[in-house]
Structure 1
Amino acid sequence: MPSPDERITAHMPMLRRYARCLTGSQERGDRYVRACLEAILAEPSLIEADDGNLRLGLFRAFHDLLVGLLVPLDADTTAPRAELDKLESRILALPEVEREVLLLRTLCDFSLDEIGTILRRPAGETRALLARARDDLRAQTTTRVLIIEDEPVIAFDLAGIVNEMGHYVIGIADTRERAVSLAANARPGIVLADIQLRDGSSGIDAAAEIRRFADVPVIFVTAYPERLLTGARGEPTYLITKPFDAEVLQVTISQALLLHPAMPAAAAG
């Protein structure tokens, strides 16, 4: 039987992915995850759930930390006021609860009852928050989107989802060279990128080159997530695994634009 440490480790990839999407930064997301783990090591009962669901208890402890119900290990009643002020500032800068509900539902696949447990809110309230968040998605300001994908059927699906959200597809590129050229000419507000492209070039390299001249969020949509989650380099903030769910893609696009204001599509076309 796996030890408690091993069982927690099994849930770390999803928790880190959730924290990155929630905060818009690998570094910031990992800092909260690390603080959560330190608090759990100091007090293992923090992740105890009524039904023994370790995953549920872990995410609840993570959110308890975010809203200040847990005290970090480097802060106690004798800590300097400035340190506590910095903690409070970080808490006040956190995303709205609607986005938390949306990500917990679509990215992590928690039920509404489980989300209520994690956020310590009634299930009816989480249902209302989810509905409001979906309404916000539909009302979101549009932007220009570059799709880097060498499979025509997948590219068509991605374009359809993007258009349904009200965004404008500036083009579909199946090579690194084509992607960089399109981005340089049309300046997208967001990029959806596969990793492996038609001519053997890399969507990772294409995205890196585009970001040298355009401050734009990139969402990787790939069947090979292990190529990005190696720990050997900075991991992407936004990563969707193929086959993908349309709502997960919509939520991820929305989150990326909320945390990284993008160029509107008014001048596109």
Structure 2
Amino acid sequence: MSSDINFERRPRVMGILNMTPDSFSDGGRFNQAQVAVERVRQMIQEGADIIDIGGESTRPGAPAISEEEELARVIPVIEAIRHDSAIPISVDTSKPAVMHAAVAAGASLINDVRALQEPGALDMAAQLGVPICLMHMQGQPRTMQANPHYDDVVEEVLAFLQQRIELCQAAGIAPARLIIDPGFGFGKTVQHNLALFRYLPRFVKTGYPVLVGVSRKSMIGKLLGERPVDERLAGSLALATLAGWLGAAIVRVHDVRESVDALTLCRAVRHA
């Protein structure tokens, strides 16, 4: 991870920037380069430590897009942000060509919901030399919420991530470059998500930084009586605070200022 990101001070806040017309929360709001740069400036002012840029929606039921379309969505924006700011940029992609172009444009972290399982992704990540976040997902976005099933969701997700870690190391990726993400909402029911959250310390004990991304997700809406996306702030902050308390190193959020405040107070109490 970039040397200016210190996991000791508090969990790092990763601000979400979706360059997509169909993401579940803010699709289409920031998909012009100048608008995106202004949004990043705002997130930096609010305390974001990392900006996560994605060009392909991974919401349940989302269609796949071509490599060319994803490149066209994200690369000009990464270049514009890098010209404007030195903030670390994460690229949310599974495509090797997008990883390569994004790092060349100024990204310093690969955030892959498929944990480098796409053809060529593992070799590309090894070549690029930047940190990688490996996420667990059961199935694919188009079908992952159809009927997710586990005998033991915590053990199975841990086993998957450990397997991917071993394959990364065999490919020459140093352990210090790896981050893990249980994949809340990616092929999981509400009960699966709650179990993973309850046992988040199991993931922390692996020694790898843990990323938690639950901001505005459907589990919050369902647990609060079918609350719509724009009314999930309090639930998102509650889970962000819990994630920080339980040892998450990075919390991926839409609402940066509020999340920074919540995590700062969480750390103040923990270290009082």
- Normalising by the residue count of structure 2, what TM-score does the alignment of the two structures yield? 0.31
Q: Which structure has the larger Rg?
A: 1
- Normalising by the residue count of structure 1, what TM-score does the alignment of the two structures yield? 0.31
Structure with higher helix content: 1
